[in-house]
Every structure is written in C-alpha cells, then in structure tokens.
Amino acid sequence: MSARHHLPWRTATAVAAMALLAGCASVAPDGLRSDVQALAPGRAAGVPDAALPAGGEGARADAQAAVQRWLAEPLTADAAVRIALLGNPGLQARLARLGVQDADRVRALTLPNPVFAIGRLTNAHEREIERSLSFGLIDLVTLPWRSRWQGQALQQATLAAAQDVARLATDARRAWLNAVAAQQVLAAHERMHDAAEAGAELARRMVRVGHWSALQQAREQAALADSRSQLAQARLAAAATREALARTLGLWGEGARFTLADRLPELPAQPMDAEGIESRALRERLDVRAARLALARVADQQGTSGIASVFGEIGVTYQRNTTTERTGAGHGDVQRGWELAVPLPLLDWGGAAHARARLLTQEGAAQLQHTALQARTEARTRWLAYRNAWDVARQQTQEVVPLRRFIQDETLLRYNGMLASVWDLLAEARASTGAVAQAVRAQRDFWLAEAELQYALTAGSATATATAAATAPLDPPATASVGAAGH
C-alpha cells in the first residue's frame, strides 16, 4: 500500500477494531439454495412444490429415497420434474457455483489485513529500529457502498441460478412428453405393422392359389417394407427419447429402469387466454428482474466512479521508530507519529472513469429496454404457437381420429356384408392407426408449446442457454473503477 498514516497506538487499535467489525461477512450455509428455492414456485414447469437438493449426507439419502418412491410407480410429468431437480448433476454443479459466488462476495467485502513492517538501520554511531502498521483507509470508508453493490450482484447471480432451475424443470417436462409420445407412436406403428404383415401374408396366399397377380402382391410387399422402416424409426425414437429423459433426470444404470405413463395428458377444454400475458411476463420473468438489478447497480456506482479512480489509494500508517547510540551511555530516542498520503489529481482527474460509468448506465438502461421488448415479443409469439398447437391437436383428436374410426367401422360392416374386400378393411385399419399416431404427435406438440409458453412468461428467453450473470464474477470489469477504491 503506497499511502500511509501515523496514529497513536490506541487510536490505531480502535480504528482496526472498527474495520474488523465493519468487514464482518459470512457465507450462506446452504449456498443460497433457499433463495433460489424461494423463486422456484410458479416457475418449475407447473410443479410448485418441487424442491432443490440440499447439502449433507442425510439430505442426499432422503432425496434418493424420494426418487425411488417416484420411480416405483409409472412416471408422471410432475414426478419427472421433481426427480430432475433433485438428481440432475448439471443443476448440482450450478448451485455449487452459486455458493462459490457467495464466497467471492464475502472475500471481496473482507477488509485487507493490516501490514506490519519492521526495519533495522545502523551506522558507526547509532542503531535505528523502525516499526510501522498500515492499512487502507478507503476500504473502511467505502464498505457500506461496496456491500450494497456486492449484494446486488449476488441477487443477479441468484436470479440466473433460478432461471437455470426453471429451464431444467421445463427440459424435464419436455423430455417426459417426448418419451411418452414416442412410446404411444411406437404402439401405433406396431399395430400398423401387424396389419401390413397380415395383408402381405394374405397376398402371398392369394397369389399361390392363382387369385391374385404378382403386381398386386408386390404392392402389399412394398407396403410391408414401408411399415417395417417406420416401425424401426419409431423404435429408435422411443429408445432415444427414453435415454434423453434418463439423462435429464440424472439417472443411469439400474436407476434408469422406470415405467412411463401410458399416455399423454388430455387436452384442456379451453386454451389459455392471451389477456395480460405481456404484463405477466414483465412482472414475473427473471431476466427482466436481473436487468433491472443490473441497471440499479451501475446507476448507483456512477456517482462515485470518478472520485474512486482519483482517490482510490488513500491509506493510513502508524510508525514508532527507536534510535539508540552505539557508544557511550547508549542514549536512546523514540519517535512516534502518523502519516496520511492522498493521491494528487495532476494527471488523472477521473474524467474517463466518469464517462465510462455514464455510458455503462446508458448501456444498462438500453439492455433493460431490450429485455423487456424481448419478453413482450416472446410472450406473444409463444402464445400464438400454443394456441395454434391447441387448434391442431383438438382437430386431430376431436375430428380426424373419430372420423377415421367411423370409416373403419363402416368398412367392417360392409366387409361383413360382403360389400368390401379384406384389402379395404386392412387399408382402413392402417389409415386409422396412422391418424392415431398423428394425433399423438399433435397432442405432444401442444404440451411442448404449453411448457415453452410458461417458461417464457415466468423465467426468461426460451432460446437462451445461459445469462452473463450465471458465470461472471461478482465484480465485473464494469465496476473496476469503483472497485479500485476498496482494494
């Protein structure tokens, strides 16, 4: 420390005690998980009671027991979200990172230790012992401001972690929807393949007895080959989506053996109304709240940035020097005093630092406006996709599938009355099963759109994978000029 003050020992001790008390800060025992948990209700993909993993062996054992209970039954979407929040290793790493950021905050607010220096100088006539105790005065003076700024930065990091929790919950629901839909589609393709096999076998027998031509048999064989290809793709999709679900839930090995629910949830009777979705997004979205905090932080720092860049190295030092004669009676002399050193603003008047802080405030305001505009746009576009998916799914389930079943039933009646051939019956069976598979896909697409809409209204941008505050240090370069005042 370049600047130094000289104070009496009693005064220096009092100032040091004050600095020690003012610099007291502690790391949150739970790594701020409770703060993230407080933001989770309403944002955990429709599961407000979903809990985050707690630290400690006992808590981990309880979480594992809960996961085993949920896996013992057919896995529902809500259970998938709960398991993902407890077992996903990526989320555990993210929460641990938040605890690291909290520790960095405490370290940044802890005042530097005083520096004790001792020197021994001699010449032919005397010996001099120099003792000094120095510390940075500006660290103590700016502690309240730095504490507030660090708290704001940590709130941003907490919001970013909560956004990651919401994203994982949405991903778990999406993975569950994909896996269940793929399982239903696979069952439909298996029925279609059975019908194609029956048609191909009947065609082979008809050709053998001379009732059919080779061309007609080839058509049935081609239908069978196409059915086999679609069945293979459906099996691959079912296996891949199941693996993706297990990965999202944090399951592997023996723990990845679970039974999925039989079918997707039914469509709601009426879709969500569009009224108030923009205001809800602006009110609840975590990225909008984080942008407001970022603007408040840089605006709060703007007034001190110029002063901090000029007078950021003020320090105080107490000295006690002893001089002793080396000859004769050895008469000694003691010197006490203090020294105050303040940088002279001859070359740097803080103009660049002040301009930088002003531009950072403008950047924060523009970023908040951009985030709010993005929130409004995403709320509208996600709702449009949601409503369109509801219309399509409703048409498939309420109109197309019943219509295909009616045609199949009527064909069966005509077959029993010898007015339709078995080929007509098999073709209608394949078409009806294909309509069911298409309805399942439309139903899945609706629920996927619903999950993305809820995320866009409560958490953040559906296309964002991370935010700057998620991994950035709590003292970014934007506050370097102010931070210099405290170090």
Domain that holds residue 454: 9-476
Mind listing the pLDDT tens digit for each residue in 184-206?
A: 999 988 888 887 787 777 777 87
What is the predicted pLDDT for the residue at 367?
A: 87
Q: Taking 80 as the threshold, does the pLDDT of residue 388 lie above it? A: yes
Q: Where would I find the beta strands (DSSP E) of 255-380?
A: 315-325, 332-341
Q: Where would I find the beta strands (DSSP E) of 292-377?
A: 315-325, 332-341
Q: Which tokens sit at 298?
A: 């840089």
Give the Cα separation of 185 and 189 in Å (integer): 6
- In eight-state DSSP terms, residue 75 is B
Tell me whether residue 1 is in a domain: no
| pTM over cut 0.85 | no
Mind listing the pLDDT tens digit for each residue in 244-268?
A: 999 999 988 877 788 999 899 999 9
Tell me whether residue 97 is in a domain: yes
Tell me whether residue 483 is in a domain: no
Helix (H, G, I), strand (E, B) or coil at 127: strand
Q: Is the dihedral of CA 230, 442, 261, 238 positive or negative?
A: positive
Q: Which tokens sit at 86?
A: 């407890």
Q: Taking 80 as the threshold, does the pLDDT of residue 95 lie above it? A: yes
Tell me whether residue 487 is in a domain: no
Tell me whether residue 484 is in a domain: no
What is the predicted pLDDT for the residue at 430?
A: 78
Q: Is the dihedral of CA 101, 107, 110, 111 positive or negative?
A: negative
**Number of domains, the chain:** 1
What is the predicted pLDDT for the residue at 348?
A: 59
Mind listing the pLDDT tens digit for each residue in 340-367?
A: 666 666 665 666 767 777 787 888 888 8
What is the predicted pLDDT for the residue at 124?
A: 67
Mind listing the pLDDT tens digit for each residue in 21-77?
A: 455 567 777 777 888 888 887 777 777 778 887 766 677 788 888 888 898 899 999
Tell me whether residue 486 is in a domain: no
Edge-to-edge strand list for the sheet holding 332-341: 115-122, 126-136, 315-325, 332-341
Tell me whether residue 159 is in a domain: yes
Tell me whether residue 340 is in a domain: yes
Q: Is the dihedral of CA 36, 40, 43, 46 positive or negative?
A: positive
pLDDT grade, residue 485 (50/70/90)? very low
Give the Cα separation of 6 and 16 in Å (integer): 13
Arithmetic mean of pLDDT, 402-424: 76
Q: Which tokens sit at 478?
A: 């934007």
b/e 181-210 (16+ beta carbons within 10 angstroms → b):
bbbbbbbbbebbbbbbebbbebbeebbeee
Q: What is the CATH number of the domain that holds 17?
A: 1.20.1600.10
